[in-house]
Structure 1
Amino acid sequence: MNPAQSRMTTLRCTRFWRRSLLLVSLIFSMPAWSAEILLTAAEDSAGVQAFAQALAQQRPKDNVVFKPLKDLPAPGRLPAGIRLVLLDPPSLDWRLRDSQGPATLVLRISRLQAHQRLGDRWPDKISLLWSDPPPDRQLRLIANILPQYRRIGVLYGKDSEFLLRELRQYAAPLGLEIVAQYWEDTSDSRALQALFKHSDVLLGLDDPQLYNPKTVKNLLLSSYARQLPLIGPNAGFVRAGSLASTYSDQNDWLKVLDRLLDQPPAHWPRSLYPEHFKVVGNPQVARSLGIEQVDENTVATRLAEGEKRP
């Protein structure tokens, strides 16, 4: 090989290795996996926008987009490869109108809202992430902060009656008894009084027909008069005057979404309560009932440790 040919060979080798190194650097700089994530809701509120922005910041490698429900085509016309995240019950109603469509995660929906729409038949490719506190977690909250109480009074209506069987299953291992009372007419206090006579503490179900701005005054005043603490049904009701509840905030839900979105949709659960949660208590209510104030962090840690046990 003459000197000219040798120089050409060396130059080609150099270029080859430079290109190889450039290609390798590009491969390692690219995200290993990215997803198209579409969030939607019937109302384009500030809270919804904040949630979408927080998810986009948490997953910078993904393309996270929010579009109001009114701007979307039928679910079956969406690209099959996207991950669809629904942020309210009306968007679930839209999704259910089409048997075709991408894999879907449904947030901000309660057990009662889903039962009204689906009964016991859940469509494929739809995962329901419950917004109401898990009943077993609420019962264990009672066992932790009110260990002397055994009779758990539960008001229920025609829409929430299906939850009673599950409550009883969870209560039995804890040594608790569910005392259930049907409340058909919320303007009639006789059902409340009948329940109070046979209960040590009340557990509120996330049933808006029973627990709403119109009933809150009667419920809380009646429970105070009987010196019966009310647990739940949600964090908002604790601010209104119930003793305590478990709840999951936006950061907790972002952790759940982050984990699920890292998985193939085929591995998503049919339904899920968030494993991340907090405890909120009302110190003023505790004082008025002569009950020790709830240590929110300690109780939350204790409950979480109990859920990790096999």
Structure 2
Amino acid sequence: MGDQSRTTLLSPPRRWQRCLLLLCLLLSVPAWSADILLTAAEDGAGVQAFVQALALQRPDDHVTFTPLTGLPAPSQLPASTRLILLDLPSLDWRLQDAQGPWTLVLRISRLQARQRLGQGVPAKISLLWSDPPLERQLRLIATILPQARRIGVLYGADSEFLLRELRQYAAPRGLEIVPQRWDDTNDSRPLLHLFRNSDVLLGLDDPQLYNPKTAKNLLLSSYARQLPLVGPNAGFVKAGSLASTYSDQTNWLAVLDRLLDHPPAGWPRTLYPEHFKVMGNPQVARSLGIEQVDEANVAARLAEGEKRP
């Protein structure tokens, strides 16, 4: 009788322990997991590194990469798939089918999107811009070159649409946009005319104007006139421009992580990464007699400015 009584007294706590253990196990299981499919025309080391980094960042999701040639038509993919496109050929593939799954497009510039989509964005597609925001680039100029007022801008037929936006951002800051069309990149006269009338040159992410063939002429002309070039991207800073804002893989992963935590119906149609860095070229700063850019400090100041209403 005594043993039975002891067993009866001990049973309830044991049952509670089992219930608590079961509850802990249930809470540790994710409420849902997403099927995240990345694709691109080519499967290189950089692509695989990005896919692996995303998979490590989202261990509860099913993250896979399939080359574009291995995919069916977009409408044949499960509707619940969250599709991430890593290059322009994969975007062209996705645009062929309006019935495809919700899609995030990485590594696309404003210019590239306009060439393919015009001024609209198809349903169920979100564009994550690769080129630096124009307003952020102007604030970078105001931070590192506070005396500059006339912002020279080379543009072509493809990038002319960006001028209106630039003027809208420049006016409240007391900055003047000085535009110069450059149709023939073998002709240096437009460059020289622009340099004579500008305090700094802001590069647009237009590959017709800023590419390996034009870099030497642009940068040598900039040095000769002692005129800083800001932008158009981190690659050009390495080649010889003064500075630029940019977003790296870590920044893009942070953006994706936030978006993938939300239902695709709530994804923005277009988005610039809120996380970014600043790159400066110390040798160029010295050659132009300009103070070296404190990359971390400038990036923090720009980010703080974007948090304010």
Q: State the TM-score bracket (shorter-chain normalisation).
A: over 0.9
Residue by residue over 1:223-267, the C-alpha shift from the partner in whole angstroms, topping out at 9 and shown as x without a partner, is 111110000000000000000000000000000000000001111
1:43-62 equivalences under 5 Å are 43-62=42-61
1:104 matched to which residue of 2? 103
2:239 matched to which residue of 1? 240
- Give the distance between the partners of 1:172 and 1:93, measured in 2 at CA: 37
1:295 matched to which residue of 2? 294
Residue by residue over 1:166-199, the C-alpha shift from the partner in whole angstroms, topping out at 9 and shown as x without a partner, is 0110011111110001100001111111111111
The residue type equivalent to 1:202 in the other structure is L
> Where does structure 1 lack aligned partners over 5 or more consecutive residues?
1-5
- Give the distance between the partners of 1:40 and 1:180, measured in 2 at CA: 38
1:24 matched to which residue of 2? 23
1:243-254 equivalences under 5 Å are 243-254=242-253
Q: Indicate the RMSD between aligned Cα atoms, in angstroms.
A: 2.1
- Give the distance between the partners of 2:51 and 2:158, measured in 1 at CA: 31
1:255 matched to which residue of 2? 254
**28-37 or 145-154: bigger deviation:** 28-37
Give 1:34 deviation, angstroms: 1.4
- Give the distance between the partners of 1:23 and 1:281, measured in 2 at CA: 55
Give secondary structure in 2 for the equivalent of 1:304. Answer: helix
Residue by residue over 1:263-297, the C-alpha shift from the partner in whole angstroms, topping out at 9 and shown as x without a partner, is 01111000000000000000100010011111111
- Give the distance between the partners of 1:293 and 1:255, measured in 2 at CA: 29
- Give the distance between the partners of 2:195 and 2:12, measured in 1 at CA: 87
Give secondary structure in 2 for the equivalent of 1:120. Answer: coil
- Give the distance between the partners of 1:146 and 1:13, measured in 2 at CA: 74
183 and 21 in structure 1: CA distance in 2 versus 1, 3 angstrom threshold:
same
- Give the distance between the partners of 1:14 and 1:243, measured in 2 at CA: 70
2:144 matched to which residue of 1? 145
Give secondary structure in 2 for the equivalent of 1:300. Answer: helix
170 and 25 in structure 1: CA distance in 2 versus 1, 3 angstrom threshold:
same
1:309 matched to which residue of 2? 308
1:113 matched to which residue of 2? 112
Give 1:22 deviation, angstroms: 5.9
- Give the distance between the partners of 2:118 and 2:18, measured in 1 at CA: 59
Give 1:82 deviation, angstroms: 1.0
1:3 matched to which residue of 2? none
- Give the distance between the partners of 1:247 and 1:90, measured in 2 at CA: 23
2:219 matched to which residue of 1? 220
- Give the distance between the partners of 2:12 and 2:223, measured in 1 at CA: 86
- Give the distance between the partners of 1:177 and 1:263, measured in 2 at CA: 40
Give 1:24 deviation, angstroms: 2.8
2:73 matched to which residue of 1? 74
The residue type equivalent to 2:135 in the other structure is D
Give 1:26 deviation, angstroms: 3.4
1:165-180 equivalences under 5 Å are 165-180=164-179
- Give the distance between the partners of 1:145 and 1:133, measured in 2 at CA: 16
| Matched positions, count | 306
Give secondary structure in 1 for the equivalent of 2:274. Answer: coil
100 and 15 in structure 1: CA distance in 2 versus 1, 3 angstrom threshold:
farther
Give secondary structure in 2 for the equivalent of 1:205. Answer: coil
User: Is 2:122 aligned against 1:123?
Assistant: yes
Question: If the length of structure 1 is used for normalisation, what is the TM-score?
Answer: 0.94
The residue type equivalent to 2:211 in the other structure is N
- Give the distance between the partners of 1:278 and 1:304, measured in 2 at CA: 9
Give secondary structure in 1 for the equivalent of 2:213. Answer: coil
- Give the distance between the partners of 1:20 and 1:99, measured in 2 at CA: 49
Give secondary structure in 1 for the equivalent of 2:217. Answer: helix
The residue type equivalent to 1:282 in the other structure is N
User: Is 2:266 aligned against 1:270?
Assistant: no
- Give the distance between the partners of 1:20 and 1:294, measured in 2 at CA: 59
2:282 matched to which residue of 1? 283
> Where does structure 2 lack aligned partners over 5 or more consecutive residues?
none
- Give the distance between the partners of 1:223 and 1:208, measured in 2 at CA: 18
Percent identity (aligned): 79
- Give the distance between the partners of 2:141 and 2:20, measured in 1 at CA: 62
The residue type equivalent to 2:57 in the other structure is Q
Give 1:204 deviation, angstroms: 0.3
Question: If the length of structure 2 is used for normalisation, what is the TM-score?
Answer: 0.94
